[in-house]
Amino acid sequence: MPNQTLDLLKELDIARQNKSEKQYSELIRLLPEEYSKINISNMNSRFEIINTPLAGLKLIHRLPLRDSRGYLERLFCSQELETLLGEKSIKQINHTLTVKAGTVRGLHFQNSPDAEIKMVSCIRGEVFDVAVDLRNGSPGFLKYHAEILSETNHKTLFIPEGFAHGFQTLTENCELIYFHTAPHVAKSEGALNVLDPLIGIKWPILISDLSDRDKNHSMLTNNFKGLNL
């Protein structure tokens, strides 16, 4: 996301907390069209939902309530995020710590019937977070989108079924929280190689660490037709 857009979202947060409807409305009109909101008109919302270039993949901007003590932040709300989740519900919450900067994890997904929606937030450090569209017939097939998630920018990547996910740590001691709509099912695991040339992810820094398992994931071939959900 461009810095100017991120600055506008921060100003929206301030206007919302100050209950300045006029300023809030003016700022909304300044946002680029590609960052259109689903719930932007609701000043009381604790989330702003932002479209990405890949259909269904969303960026959620969490809106903390601040005062002199610090802030209170909502990580999840089934009511406010119902437009994204539909009839799905959160079945599992996972937490990872990655110690070394430059480490890459991924690119992981689950096959049907255990395909899952995944919501990823960084609560410590900073990561380059990536989602790859694997949906058969999708206009975005084999394209990827990446966002910087950090402990300070209050962003969550909402990853629909049919996407692979991975990330690279940009700082040491990164902690991520994952909300899943399906439990982990080992027999349904799938993965892509993080260096697959058919995807061509431009990792921002030199890869310093990669598990043997992730290192040995197969490369895609031109015969790969994607996932059927």
Q: Give the per-residue pLDDT at 45.
A: 77
The pLDDT of residue 38: 40
Concerning whether 184 is annotated as a catalytic residue, the answer is no
Q: Which of 24, 178, 180, 184 is catalytic?
A: 178
d(CA 121, CA 60): 9
Q: Across the 229 residues of the chain, what is the mean pLDDT of every consecutive 10-residue run?
A: 66 67 68 51 73 95 87 91 93 98 97 96 98 97 97 96 98 98 95 97 97 96 93
Query: In sequence order, what are the residues at sequence separation of 6 or more whose Cβ sits closer than 8 angstroms to the Cβ of residue 213?
Result: none
Selected catalytic residue, list 24, 71, 95, 108: 108
Active site residue 61: no
Rounded to two decimals, the pTM is 0.82
Q: What is the pLDDT of residue 182?
A: 96
**Which one, of 105, 133, 58, lies nearest residue 215 by Cα?**
105
**CA–CA dist 87, 96 (Å, integer):** 27
The amino acid that residue 107 corresponds to is L
At residue 36, the pLDDT reads 46
H or E element at residue 28: helix 21-30
Both tokens assigned to 150: 């950090």
Q: Residue 87: what are its φ and ψ, rounded to 5°? A: -90, 0
Q: The domain 39-215 is classified under which CATH number: 3.60.15.10, 2.60.120.10, 3.30.70.20, 1.10.10.10? A: 2.60.120.10
pLDDT of residue 76: 94
Instruction: Please name every residue paired with 132 in a beta bridge, in sequence order, or none if there are none.
Output: 144, 164
Cα angle: 177, vertex 141, 228; to 5 degrees: 80
